Amino acid sequence: MRLTILFGLLALAVKPSLAQPRTNVESTLETIDVKTGKRTVLLKEKRHFEAPNWARNGQFFIINADGKLEKISRSGKKLGIIPTGTADRLNNDHGLSFDGKLLVVSHNDPLVTKGAKSRIYTLPAEGGTARLITEKAPSYWHGISPDGKTLVYCAQREEAWDVYSIPTKGGEEKRLTDAPGLDDGPEYSYDGQWIYFNSNRTGRMHLYRMQPDGSQQEQLTNDTYDNWFGHPSPDGKWLVYISYLEDQKGQHPFGKDVKLRLMNMETRQIKDLTQVFFGGQGTINVPSWSPDGRQVAFVTYRMLE
Question: What are the tens digits of pLDDT across the range 71-119?
Answer: 999 999 999 999 999 999 999 999 999 999 999 999 999 999 988 999 9
> For residue 172, what are the domain limits?
4-303
Strand order in the sheet with 78-82: 50-54, 60-65, 68-73, 78-82
* Element housing 25 (H / E): strand 25-33
Mean pLDDT of 228-251: 97
**pLDDT value of position 88:** 96
CA neighbours within 13 Å on the CB side: how many for 285?
30
Q: What is the pTM of this model?
A: 0.94
CATH at 51: 2.120.10.30
CA distance 73 to 77: 5
Model confidence at 4: pLDDT above 60: no
Question: What are the tens digits of pLDDT across the range 253-280?
Answer: 999 999 999 999 999 999 999 999 999 9
Q: At 281, phi and psi to the nearest 5?
A: -55, 125
pLDDT cut 70: percent of the chain above it: 93
Model confidence at 303: pLDDT above 70: yes
Domains of the chain: total: 1
Q: Which residue has the higher pLDDT, 44 or 6?
A: 44
